[in-house]
A and B are shown apart, each in its own frame.
Chain A
Amino acid sequence: MSIHPSNIDPCDIRSHKFTALLSEPLGNKMLYKLPEIKTECMELCVTACEKFSQNNENAARMIKETMDKKFGPTWQVIVGEGYGFFIEHQVKSLLYMFFGGTTAIIVWKCA
């Protein structure tokens, strides 16, 4: 669906789009993971954030622990709404995604 700006109040555009977009649970900014792990990890993040929608810390903890158990020893997870980062990660083990229009999740592995 295309939203033509002419027939909608400009102030409403953003909110309209926003809410429209929010109907999809997440949009991916960048994925850089091994394909087998990618989908599982994404689903895990979605589950975690839905479960701990108020508490990012618990969500992050859940994600990190599950990832460690499943895929390997050291995963780092950041769940938040406003932060900057500069990380060094193992090649092909980085997931960077947005969820629910507000939270950004970054998961990476560094041995």
Chain B
Amino acid sequence: MKARAGADKKNAQPVPVGVNLQRRLSQAHRGSLTGYDDQEGGNMPANFIDDSNMLGRSEDQLKLTDAELNEEHTRILTARNPQAAENIIRYSYKDRIYKPIPHVDQLAVHYQMDSNLINKDSDDAKRQVTVDTATEGVEVATASVGTDAETATKEGEDEDEDKPKKTAGAGGKGKKLTNQFNFSERASQTYNNPCRNRETFVEQTPRAVFTDNVSQWSIFDAYNEDFEQQQKLKEKESKKHTLKKDDDRKKKFVPSDQQAGDEFAKFVRSKTANISLKILERMINLNTFDDIAQDFKYWEDAADEYREQQGSLLPLWVFQYDMVKKLSCTNLAWNTQYPDLFAASFGSYDFLKQSRGMFLIYSLKNPSFPENMFPTDSGVMSLDFHPKHPNLLCCGFYDGSVAVYNIADENKRPKYQSTARSGKHTDPVWQVRWQKDDLDSNLNFYSVSSDGRVVCWTLVKSDLMYTDIVQLKLDKPTTETDEGVPLTTLGCGTCFDFNKQQDYLFIVGTEEGKIHKCSKSYNNQFLDTFDAHHMAVYAVRWNTYHPKIFASCSADWTVKIWDINYKDPLFVYDLGSAVGDVNWAPYSSTVFAACTADGKVFVFDLNVNKYEPLTEQIVVQKKRTKLTHITFNHQFPILLAGDDRGNITTLKLSPNLRKKPKVKKGQEVPEGPEAENAKLDKILALIRDPDAAKNKPTTQAATTTS
């Protein structure tokens, strides 16, 4: 500014001498605005006071005299563009001459900057505003895309036209001010999750329709009805009370019972129900006695490893039945076909207390209740299953009769029964045994009884025919009566057994303590007699394998092992109490068990210990119960012991009791009857020392053990 003002520079009087107050524009340092300022550092130090520079001149400046310097030059300022040409000649096609252009454009644009505002009141602005409002109104009225497009294009045109125009600030209240050039609306659409319609139809709640009309008289009528009904009820109740109460009750009870009973009974007795009920019962029993069943199958006494010469008996199930609680178990027999089925006969040994009897069929699978029960009039003393027909059972009674039952029969009557006429015994039948079918293939069995007869009964069609086989005559000299008729007194037979290998041979034990060896062929004579015991012989049994050895037990507390060829027993065991039964094991020729009246069971193994039992164990629960019978199962290692309280105890034999003899490695284990025989023979040979042929056995007999 100062520079412009200083265009009249020549008018100003420079004071060149020594005073730096004013400077000439051309000479003044460019950039300095005030003359008096100190020069800023960094610029050329024009303040450099120097002789040559005192006047502020540069060295190549024109040097003029003062007079020349004081000359006045006039300058005239005009608004003419000094750059613009002064005379422009243009060829005019119209006039066909060169013509000077009168007006030359003198406009010089020093600086141009585009702005973005236009005056509100200018025409352009107004036009624009109307355009904008118009578009707004259109948008509001119709929401169609087409109009939008129109307005958009319209706006676009406007844009192109009014390039330097900008949007007016005002445009209606609330209208967004948008930059027309830079403003772009951007919209974005998010992903819309696809929608799915699901519908389900619910079952309609059950509905019913109800209609009525309520009015005062209907209410009244309803009350009346109610009243009358209540009256009637009261009358009925009073009537009821006057009736006999007992009759009512009885009437109520009997029909309901019968009804229920009939239906239930029918159901129970139907065959299909029977089977399922049976299975169910067995399952329940299995569950109840589960641990016993496990023991029965799998338990082996581990202690047996440490004690070689001893074994033990594990009590398993105990079979009890209410109705036989007062009876003694008189015999036990295993079924030949089903190894878990056994029959137990019950009666009374007491001479004075004779009442009814029973025999029960039990299964090991159902320890709580017998499978079948057959009540009888008199005590059953013995029974036997037929080896070929497992449903046939013969039994001998206390009253001397024998009977054959078919246990598969529904009714509990015997198939055959001997009567007084048909040769029944006059004394209790102590033992019965089936034999092989005779020549006519009739079933037959033998019985021995206290009346001294061994009788063979044959089932011929529907009859029981008897044949006396042997009469047990006593050796006593017959008493001589006055008339001189000799009476033959008969001994009382208590037990017998048939040789397994030679069927015709059998031994009979008597109450006098004698054992007779008899044959079926010889009726009158015994083949041999042994003075076995001092008291009644309760059981005689042939060895399972050896054809010559048998055992006998007696009320004189002893068990004796005999060889049929020798008069003296091979082994004698004193068991401390009356021995009820002795039985050989089916799996070994040297093992046998005995049961005594003090409730003990003894198991012997001649192979292991010839003089002492391997086991001596009390198996009864209450004291003073006598064990009456004992028997081995053919398949499982268990013993059955019956006592005089009607209980039957199952005992499992520990491994020591079932041992087979130890074999040297490499040798085959000898199996089968021959091996068993050989085993026994070896033992017998040891006993019968050749040195003292007869003495040794007697001395052996003398060394008794308890």
Chain B associates with chain A? yes
Could you tell me which A residues sit within 8 Å of B by CB distance? 1-2, 14, 17-18, 20-21, 27-29, 32, 80-91, 94, 96, 98, 101-102, 104, 106, 108, 110-111
Contact B206 A17 (CB under 8 A): no
* CA of A106 to CA of B211, assembled, Å: 11
- Which of B38-46, B150-158, B219-227 touches A? B219-227
CB contact under 8 A between A82 and B214, given known A2-B231, A102-B219, A104-B219: yes
Least CB separation from A3: chain B residue: B227
Hey, which chain B residues are within 8 Å of A85, CB to CB? 210-214
Contact A104 B214 (CB under 8 A): yes
Q: How far is the CB of B632 from chain A (nearest CB, A)?
A: 67
* CA of A14 to CA of B265, assembled, Å: 60
* CA of A96 to CA of B219, assembled, Å: 12
Hey, which chain B residues are within 8 Å of A28, CB to CB? 226
B223 touches which of A21, A82, A94, A96 (Cβ 8 Å): A21
Interface string of B70-81 (1 = CB under 8 A from A): 000000000000
Contact B215 A82 (CB under 8 A): yes
* CA of A28 to CA of B230, assembled, Å: 12
Contact B214 A83 (CB under 8 A): yes
B207 touches which of A2, A20, A110 (Cβ 8 Å): A110
Q: How far is the CB of A80 from chain B (nearest CB, A)?
A: 7
B208 touches which of A84, A89, A104 (Cβ 8 Å): A89
Confirm or deny: B17 has a beta carbon within 8 angstroms of a beta carbon on chain A: no
Hey, which chain A residues are within 8 Å of B224, CB to CB? 17, 21
CB contact under 8 A between A86 and B209, given known A2-B231, A81-B214: yes
Hey, which chain A residues are within 8 Å of B213, CB to CB? 83-85
Least CB separation from B221: chain A residue: A29
CB contact under 8 A between A84 and B216, given known A21-B227, A98-B223: no
CB contact under 8 A between A17 and B212, given known A91-B206, A91-B207: no
Hey, which chain B residues are within 8 Å of A101, CB to CB? 219-220, 223
In chain B, positions 612-656 with a C-beta closer than 8 Å to chain A are none
Hey, which chain A residues are within 8 Å of B206, CB to CB? 90-91
Hey, which chain B residues are within 8 Å of A91, CB to CB? 205-208
Contact A96 B210 (CB under 8 A): yes
* CA of A94 to CA of B211, assembled, Å: 11
Q: Give the secondary structure class of A's interface.
A: strand
Hey, which chain A residues are within 8 Å of B227, CB to CB? 17, 20-21
Contact B210 A89 (CB under 8 A): yes
Q: How far is the CB of A30 from chain B (nearest CB, A)?
A: 8
Hey, which chain A residues are within 8 Å of B212, CB to CB? 84-85, 96, 106
Please report the total number of B residues contacting A with Cβ < 8 Å. Answer: 20
Contact A98 B219 (CB under 8 A): yes
CB contact under 8 A between A27 and B222, given known A87-B211, A111-B205: yes
Contact A88 B209 (CB under 8 A): yes
Least CB separation from A92: chain B residue: B206
Hey, which chain B residues are within 8 Å of A21, CB to CB? 223-224, 226-227
Q: How far is the CB of B232 from chain A (nearest CB, A)?
A: 10
Hey, which chain B residues are within 8 Å of A88, CB to CB? 207-210
* CA of A20 to CA of B206, assembled, Å: 40
The winner among B205, B210, B227 for most chain A CB atoms within 10 A is B210
Least CB separation from A108: chain B residue: B210
* CA of A110 to CA of B206, assembled, Å: 10
CB contact under 8 A between A81 and B216, given known A27-B222, A29-B222: yes
Hey, which chain B residues are within 8 Å of A111, CB to CB? 205
* CA of A98 to CA of B222, assembled, Å: 9
CB contact under 8 A between A90 and B207, given known A80-B214, A84-B213: yes
Interface string of B409-452 (1 = CB under 8 A from A): 00000000000000000000000000000000000000000000
* CA of A111 to CA of B219, assembled, Å: 29
A84 touches which of B205, B207, B214, B231 (Cβ 8 Å): B214
Contact A89 B207 (CB under 8 A): yes
Q: How far is the CB of A69 from chain B (nearest CB, A)?
A: 20
Least CB separation from A82: chain B residue: B215
Hey, which chain A residues are within 8 Å of B210, CB to CB? 32, 85-89, 94, 96, 108
The winner among A85, A91, A104 for most chain B CB atoms within 10 A is A104
Hey, which chain B residues are within 8 Å of A110, CB to CB? 207
Q: How far is the CB of A56 from chain B (nearest CB, A)?
A: 12
Hey, which chain A residues are within 8 Å of B208, CB to CB? 88-91, 94
Least CB separation from B206: chain A residue: A91
Least CB separation from B227: chain A residue: A21
Q: How far is the CB of B89 from chain A (nearest CB, A)?
A: 105
Hey, which chain B residues are within 8 Å of A94, CB to CB? 208, 210
Given A1-B231, A27-B226, 4 other A-B residues pairs in contact with their CB atoms under 8 A: A18-B223, A82-B215, A89-B210, A110-B207
Hey, which chain B residues are within 8 Å of A83, CB to CB? 213-214
Q: How far is the CB of A111 from chain B (nearest CB, A)?
A: 5
Q: How far is the CB of B641 from chain A (nearest CB, A)?
A: 63
Contact A82 B216 (CB under 8 A): yes
Least CB separation from B208: chain A residue: A91
* CA of A38 to CA of B235, assembled, Å: 28
Least CB separation from A21: chain B residue: B223
Hey, which chain B residues are within 8 Å of A104, CB to CB? 214, 219
* CA of A110 to CA of B208, assembled, Å: 10
Q: How far is the CB of A72 from chain B (nearest CB, A)?
A: 11
Hey, which chain A residues are within 8 Å of B216, CB to CB? 81-82, 102
Least CB separation from A103: chain B residue: B219
Least CB separation from A81: chain B residue: B216
Hey, which chain A residues are within 8 Å of B222, CB to CB? 27, 29, 98
Least CB separation from A105: chain B residue: B214
Hey, which chain B residues are within 8 Å of A81, CB to CB? 214-216
The winner among B207, B216, B219 for most chain A CB atoms within 10 A is B219
Hey, which chain A residues are within 8 Å of B220, CB to CB? 14, 18, 101
Least CB separation from A14: chain B residue: B220
In chain B, positions 181-223 with a C-beta closer than 8 Å to chain A are 205-216, 219-220, 222-223
Q: How far is the CB of B237 from chain A (nearest CB, A)?
A: 15
Contact B226 A87 (CB under 8 A): no
* CA of A1 to CA of B223, assembled, Å: 15
In chain B, positions 283-332 with a C-beta closer than 8 Å to chain A are none
What are the nearest 5 A-B pairs in CB distance?
Answer: A84-B213, A86-B211, A91-B206, A104-B214, A27-B226
Contact A87 B209 (CB under 8 A): yes
* CA of A96 to CA of B222, assembled, Å: 12
Least CB separation from B215: chain A residue: A82
Hey, which chain B residues are within 8 Å of A102, CB to CB? 216, 219
* CA of A27 to CA of B215, assembled, Å: 15
Q: How far is the CB of A37 from chain B (nearest CB, A)?
A: 15
Least CB separation from B222: chain A residue: A29
* CA of A32 to CA of B222, assembled, Å: 16
* CA of A82 to CA of B219, assembled, Å: 10
* CA of A77 to CA of B168, assembled, Å: 69
CB contact under 8 A between A27 and B223, given known A82-B214, A83-B214: yes
A-B contact pairs, 11 of them (CB 8 A): A17-B224, A21-B223, A27-B223, A81-B214, A83-B214, A84-B214, A87-B210, A87-B211, A88-B208, A98-B219, A98-B222
Q: How far is the CB of B335 from chain A (nearest CB, A)?
A: 60
CB contact under 8 A between A90 and B205, given known A21-B223, A98-B219: yes
Q: How far is the CB of A89 from chain B (nearest CB, A)?
A: 6
Least CB separation from A83: chain B residue: B214
Hey, which chain B residues are within 8 Å of A89, CB to CB? 207-210
